[in-house]
Amino acid sequence: MRPVYINRLSKYLPNEPVSNDEMEQVLGMIDNKPSRARTIVLRNNGIKTRYYAYRNGKKTHTNAEMATIAIKELFDEKLPIDKLEVLAAGTTSPEQILPSHAAMIHGQLGTKNIEIMSAAGACCSSMQAMKYAYMAVAAEMADVAVACGSERFSSWTQGQRYQPEADSWKTMETNPIIAFEKDFLRWMLSDGAGAALLQPEPNKEGLSLKIEWLEITSYANELETCMYAGSIKNEDASITSWTDMDAKEWANHSVFSYKQDTRLLGDNIVPRGGMFIHDLMKKHGLTGDQIDYYLPHMSSEFFKQQIFNYHEQIGMDLPFEKWFYNLPKVGNVGSASPYLMLEELMHNGQLKKGEHILVMVPESARFTYAYMYLTVV
């Protein structure tokens, strides 16, 4: 296994940033009524601005287009894009079931024939893509690999998507609000893309990030579904797929909306991540003083103190001065978020050779976690 380096990082955030007060103007209201959940969710998540590939009732970019723009930024005259051999892409919000997301990106890139891999899931899908690209380079199967994460959540969270469900209430002569499990994620998720270039040699000029290790684990064997789309969750915690429902039910129950079991999220997202990093501390001999920058992908600042407290319990001393994240200004961009944090840190002039970075990515869908440890070289 040869060493692998992240030599370039890029991003694409569509259009102008959207403030908290502007969100409902872009996404639209449900049944012409302001959301009751919006203020509560935004007060807790700490997000001030975010980006949407959506304006005036129309999309401005597809998911694949945003990923393509970010990927093209990785290449130039010194390293032309026709050198690309492997493309691994992760997303929570593909625009079709088939073809795969990576195939759509490759089609947009218009490069030569390359190997592609699509990782499906939520936030960890981009880290699974990163690991695929990492292993391809480490195993000498490729010399130039790209991993990316991209999302276009705005197409899933528009108010009009929920209108058939709202109309069905009127038929039943009731006037409830959209369930919190659905409305919650409308104010949490945003759009964008990030990409990373992986090679077996570090940059001759400037900095590179050597991947020391990248570990991923799932707790789906122990925990029920927490975040889901294209299905409904039953009282016994089982999932009924859209394929087992008729078309009328799809609309009347907003089946294709993103939904979150917030109780399950609050009970498990931090402790399970803590359990995994505790195992990795023992496996890799990792201590807090071996980490100069801690990049936690948090869906909400609500979890910040909880994460800090759990670190203390397991002996991982990570004071807030070591934390680096950009959630307040770019929002929760799902699978793109770890790339967006790394891209900003790599380009803001803070890093010095010899420093170490720990990236943490949790995924609440059914509780998957990824940790990546990097050395600045």
Q: Is the separation of the CB atoms in 324 and 293 below 8 Å?
A: yes
Domain membership of residue 126 as a residue range: 5-206
Report residue 309: phi and psi, to 5°: -65, -40
The predicted-structure confidence for 68-104, as pLDDT tens digits, reads as follows 999 999 999 999 999 999 999 999 999 999 999 999 9
**Is 254 within the bounds of a domain?**
no
**Is 13 within the bounds of a domain?**
yes
* Dihedral in degrees, nearest 10, Cα atoms 12, 16, 20, 23: -90
**Is 109 within the bounds of a domain?**
yes
Which pLDDT score, from 0 to 100, does residue 37 have? 86
Radius of gyration of the chain (CA): 21
Which pLDDT score, from 0 to 100, does residue 119 have? 98
**Is 142 within the bounds of a domain?**
yes
**Is 274 within the bounds of a domain?**
no
**Is 239 within the bounds of a domain?**
no
Structurally, the chain folds into a number of domains equal to 1
Alpha-carbon gap, residue 316 to 280, rounded angstroms: 11
The predicted-structure confidence for 224-250, as pLDDT tens digits, reads as follows 999 999 999 999 999 999 999 999 999
Residue with tokens 């801690």: 294
Q: Return the closest-CA partner of residue 141 out of 67, 211, 198, 100.
A: 198
**Is 167 within the bounds of a domain?**
yes
Which pLDDT score, from 0 to 100, does residue 59 have? 95
**Is 147 within the bounds of a domain?**
yes
Which pLDDT score, from 0 to 100, does residue 178 have? 57
Which pLDDT score, from 0 to 100, does residue 176 have? 47
Task: Show pLDDT as tens, one digit a residue, over the chain (377 residues).
Answer: 999 999 999 999 999 999 999 999 999 998 888 888 898 899 999 999 999 999 988 999 999 999 999 999 999 999 999 999 999 999 999 999 999 999 999 999 999 999 999 999 999 999 999 999 999 999 999 999 999 999 999 998 998 888 878 776 555 444 444 567 888 899 999 999 999 999 999 999 999 999 999 999 999 999 999 999 999 999 999 999 999 999 999 998 899 999 999 999 999 999 999 999 999 999 999 999 999 999 999 999 999 999 999 999 999 999 999 999 999 999 999 999 999 999 999 999 999 999 999 999 999 999 999 999 999 99
- Beta-strand runs (E) in the chain: 5-12, 18-19, 49-50, 54-55, 58-59, 86-91, 115-120, 145-151, 192-199, 209-218, 227-228, 231-233, 239-241, 259-260, 293-296, 356-363, 368-376
Residue with tokens 């680096």: 324
Give, as one character, the DSSP assignment of residue 178. P
Give, as one character, the DSSP assignment of residue 176. P
CATH number at residue 77: 3.40.47.10
Q: Is the separation of the CB atoms in 169 and 153 below 8 Å?
A: no
